[in-house]
Structure 1
Amino acid sequence: MSNLPTTLPAWLALLESRHAETVINMGLDRVLAVKERLQLSFSCPTIMVAGTNGKGSTCAMLESVLMRAGYKVGLYIKPHFLDFNERARINGDMASDETLVAAFNAVEAARGDTSLTYFEFTTLAIMKLLSEAGMDVVILEVGLGGRLDAVNIIDADVSIVTSVDIDHTDYLGDTREKIGFEKAGIFRAGKTAICSDPVPPQSLIDHANAIGADLWLMGRDFNYSGDKQQWSYGGRGQRRNSLAYPSLRGANQILNACAALAALEALKLVLPVGAQEVRTGLVTVELPGRFQVLPGRPTIILDVAHNPHAAAALNQNLGNMGFHRYTYAVFGSMHDKDIDGVIAAMSEHVDHWCLATLPSPRSASASELAAKVQLVQPERDERTINVFDDPGAAYANAISRAGEDDRIVVFGSFLTVAGVMAARKSSLH
């Protein structure tokens, strides 16, 4: 044990190297065994959030509102853009290297000869850290699916499924019904189960009913109404009137906000939250890379849309933005995504494609993307397609060509947005 890493970068490098041998192992037996040895449990209410899109936004809204109400809030959110520490937040601040190293040491000691993937190991470590941080409430974002995700070793007090769409078909199945069943795996008997997808798969409803979860459905148990200026939430027994729209921009954010408010309604006896805290919390919430519009010109938008459902929402948001002469797209994707569907959803607004290969063995190459753009997007004058070895180079090209009245939209995989964030950061120094 004495030769364990002593710094966070060294720990992450070790886990990455181990991870090379451990494929994604669907199944919770190993994680549950290590959880027992760690004696991992939460003494405060926990909220778990799954969904194809909208998970991160819903988590961030819950964190923002609950912090405004004076609660100590722990959040596990992923993936990270620049620092691994972004995944563990205590009262809005990233966990320190020291606390993460201590948590990694604890998991390593408890693991014995049980092999864990990178995601399982880090999930256990961050949950251990949050369980010991004296929190009033902990919010846990599910990574992939739900039923077999490492986060699902916790029995949450409230479970939320934000949206169900086609993604990760290799693991979750290729229909909304199959994927809905996987996401519904986070629901628990006798506990609140919220689904903010306006058209939930029947499989999700059936599973919730079969296990005796208390299912809250959008349109049946909670809903919203609004005009251009403000909106209202109506739940089973609680109304929230004259709310400002969430600061996270985009068409689906109102559904995510409803899910967050339904969770708060379900927990109102243990975590009461006042009207003003809800208003302020929704207006001040921040989340990098979710239709994030950067200040300055040309207009730059960062969005981690990487499936057709998210790309359609991004396309709609671009359409609502007002006039821009040309739109440059910096785009990179994993090859197992529905790339044609994403390009088709975005083709209405994109004039110039700057396509990037991502730093991952799972990346689609920029030239593969270029071939798909040519097939999917109808020919038009003045359209260009260029390929680059990495997102930073693609972004540099877009910046060098875009005028003040243009806009650059950086989208696709987290690695696309992270690559551009890193390039921007280094160009500022």
Structure 2
Amino acid sequence: MNTLEDWLAHCERQHPQGISGIELGLDRVRRVARRMELVMPCPVITVAGTNGKGSTCAMLEAIYSEAGYRAGVYTSPHLVHFTERCRVGREAVSADALLPAFGEVERARLGDGGSGESGVVVLTYFEFTTLAILRTLSESGIDVAILEVGLGGRLDAVNIVDPDCAVITSIALDHMALLGDNREAIGYEKAGIMRTGRPVVVSDPVPPQSVIDRALEVGAQLWRIGKDFHFAGDKQQWGWAMHPSHGGRKYSGLAYPALRGANQLVNASGVLAAVEALRECLPVTAQAVRNGLALVELPGRFQIVPGQPALVLDVAHNPHSVAALAENLDAMGFYPVTHAVFGAMADKDLPAMLERIGPLIDRWHLSDLPIPRASRAEDLARVLEASPVASPGGRSRVAGCHANPMDALRAATSAADPADRIVVFGSFHTVGGVLRDGVPRLTAPHLSN
């Protein structure tokens, strides 16, 4: 195995037969990490939650980078290239830089790591790649590690690393077959990243009681939005403040984060609380906070691409995030026709997603996705046609089914007028499919007439 592609193919072949190759649990990954003597030599921030994790990690990375620290970030999934999952110094690591770590994981899981342990350990794709990225980060000379949980928290491979500060973003219904069918059960899984005596920032305004109970049970230092810190703003600027019991630090006259969407203020508030929680070991100036929030970038999160027609890219893929997308689309103003390029996983609550955003979509261009868990475009069409949003005589209708997101985007562009809007959403794979050759620049054919 001489290339990253070789190693990723090897990882895929190792999957235990869990749900779609997912098998939660820490025993396997801990055994291999112990053989590797894997230790993170810097403060660690672990971020869990249903939505807002990627934005939270990006803002933390931007602020610490502006403060002069070398930040290492692990996020998942990726949009286009696997190397997006591992960033050091604000840049994705090269494929070649990951190869030694993959080799080390392989030797350790086969019992050849010199630890004295024997026996082959079978790892899932996520476990194998997580260990390789954690090893890469641990040897990259970073000052702070920012780790995004892949799924849940308590049993996610990322949770083998003890965080100095945990952040829990919004909690909603998603991955219910694995995490539970209600917010209390899902909240308990997310709360598994808490550690005794260490701060946990909860930026969900109405967290499940299970999160609060778990913090009290393990003796974590609980910092809640609306109680221990809060924010307020108008159309021009916003401010943030900690409760006096936590030092009372304040920021006023902040510009809105460069990431678009009303929900980003909630995420940014949690980020500032985490920065405050780690101030003793990672001091940050007010200017670094302002610069970081102003310069943060994260593709695919309500990303508006200039051109005609307007193009919006958003990885919203569950009812909660789709509701936030719908709110942000509402705030954009009037467009004669809104076209959707949509592809989604089969295990998502499609009726709930369509109920919220359906009234904003006039034409649906549906796409297959290159993953077994995905719904076929024809199946999505049947769900849509049975939905009240696409009832006979209604505005919203299926315009076509396509083999991939790029074909769907081409069809939407061909059908759109310059004043229209195209929204690409439903999955990381949907957005990644239109970003594969770079950010598309649209020109409606009507402009050349």
Coarse TM-score class (shorter-chain normalised):
over 0.9
The equivalent of 2:222 in structure 1 is: 215
Q: Does 1:121 align with 2:128?
A: yes
**Can you give the 5+ residue segments of structure 1 that lack an aligned partner in the other structure?**
none
CA distance in 1, matches of 2:297, 2:56: 11
Q: Does 1:372 align with 2:383?
A: yes
CA distance in 1, matches of 2:286, 2:159: 31
Pick from 221, 230, 234: which aligns with 2:241? Answer: 234
Q: Deviations over 1:225-264 (max 9, x none)?
A: 1111111111132111111111111121001001110000
Pick from 405, 415, 439: which aligns with 1:401? Answer: 415
Asked whether the equivalents of residues 193 and 214 of structure 1 are also in contact (C-alpha less than 8 Å), the reply is: yes
Describe the SS at the equivalent of 2:39: coil
**Can you give the 5+ residue segments of structure 2 that lack an aligned partner in the other structure?**
111-119, 443-449
Q: 1:212 to 1:381 in 2, by over 3 A?
A: closer
The equivalent of 2:77 in structure 1 is: 79
Q: Deviations over 1:186-235 (max 9, x none)?
A: 00000001110000000110011001000111111010011111111111
Asked whether the equivalents of residues 359 and 396 of structure 2 are also in contact (C-alpha less than 8 Å), the reply is: no
Pick from 235, 258, 265: which aligns with 1:247? Answer: 258
CA distance in 2, matches of 1:381, 1:344: 14
Alignment of 1:194-205 (within 5 A): 194-205=201-212
Q: Deviations over 1:265-316 (max 9, x none)?
A: 0011111111111111101100010000011111100000010100000000
CA distance in 2, matches of 1:275, 1:427: 36
The equivalent of 2:3 in structure 1 is: 7
CA distance in 2, matches of 1:403, 1:206: 53
Counterpart of 2:364, as a letter, is W
Counterpart of 1:384, as a letter, is R
Asked whether the equivalents of residues 178 and 203 of structure 1 are also in contact (C-alpha less than 8 Å), the reply is: yes
The equivalent of 2:87 in structure 1 is: 89
**Could you tell which deviates more after superposition, 220-229 or 20-29?**
20-29
CA distance in 1, matches of 2:28, 2:309: 50
CA distance in 2, matches of 1:42, 1:175: 34
CA distance in 2, matches of 1:43, 1:411: 38
Alignment of 1:1-80 (within 5 A): 5-19=1-15, 23-80=21-78
Asked whether the equivalents of residues 140 and 151 of structure 1 are also in contact (C-alpha less than 8 Å), the reply is: yes
Q: 1:424 to 1:396 in 2, by over 3 A?
A: farther
| CA apart distance, 1:387 | 1.4
| CA apart distance, 1:427 | 9.3
Pick from 173, 177, 181: which aligns with 1:174? Answer: 181
Asked whether the equivalents of residues 392 and 423 of structure 1 are also in contact (C-alpha less than 8 Å), the reply is: no
| CA apart distance, 1:383 | 3.8
Q: Does 1:154 align with 2:165?
A: no
**TM-score w.r.t. length of structure 1:** 0.96
Q: 1:373 to 1:115 in 2, by over 3 A?
A: same
Pick from 140, 161, 165: which aligns with 1:133? Answer: 140
CA distance in 2, matches of 1:405, 1:52: 34
CA distance in 1, matches of 2:97, 2:429: 26
| CA apart distance, 1:382 | 5.3
Describe the SS at the equivalent of 1:82: coil
Q: Deviations over 1:359-400 (max 9, x none)?
A: 111111112111221222153455431211221211110011
| CA apart distance, 1:73 | 0.4
Q: 1:395 to 1:20 in 2, by over 3 A?
A: farther
Alignment of 1:305-320 (within 5 A): 305-320=316-331
Pick from 397, 406, 422: which aligns with 1:384? Answer: 397
Q: 1:378 to 1:8 in 2, by over 3 A?
A: closer
**Could you tell which deviates more after superposition, 161-170 or 372-381?**
372-381
CA distance in 2, matches of 1:94, 1:408: 29
CA distance in 2, matches of 1:299, 1:116: 43
CA distance in 2, matches of 1:382, 1:426: 27
Identical aligned pairs, as a percentage?
52
Describe the SS at the equivalent of 2:359: coil
Q: Does 1:411 align with 2:418?
A: no
CA distance in 2, matches of 1:98, 1:217: 41
Asked whether the equivalents of residues 109 and 122 of structure 2 are also in contact (C-alpha less than 8 Å), the reply is: yes
| CA apart distance, 1:15 | 1.4
CA distance in 2, matches of 1:264, 1:424: 33
Describe the SS at the equivalent of 2:360: coil
Q: Deviations over 1:149-181 (max 9, x none)?
A: 000001100000001100000100000000000
CA distance in 1, matches of 2:441, 2:288: 38
**TM-score w.r.t. length of structure 2:** 0.92
CA distance in 1, matches of 2:27, 2:17: 18
Describe the SS at the equivalent of 2:79: coil
CA distance in 1, matches of 2:437, 2:407: 9
Aligned-residue CA RMSD (Å)? 1.5
Asked whether the equivalents of residues 238 and 253 of structure 2 are also in contact (C-alpha less than 8 Å), the reply is: yes
The equivalent of 2:356 in structure 1 is: 345
Asked whether the equivalents of residues 57 and 287 of structure 1 are also in contact (C-alpha less than 8 Å), the reply is: yes
Aligned residue pair count:
424
Q: Deviations over 1:62-102 (max 9, x none)?
A: 00010000001000011111111100000111111122001
Asked whether the equivalents of residues 26 and 155 of structure 2 are also in contact (C-alpha less than 8 Å), the reply is: yes
Counterpart of 1:61, as a letter, is M
**Could you tell which deviates more after superposition, 316-325 or 14-23?**
14-23
The equivalent of 2:283 in structure 1 is: 272
Q: Does 1:422 align with 2:433?
A: no
Q: 1:204 to 1:333 in 2, by over 3 A?
A: same
Counterpart of 1:16, as a letter, is E
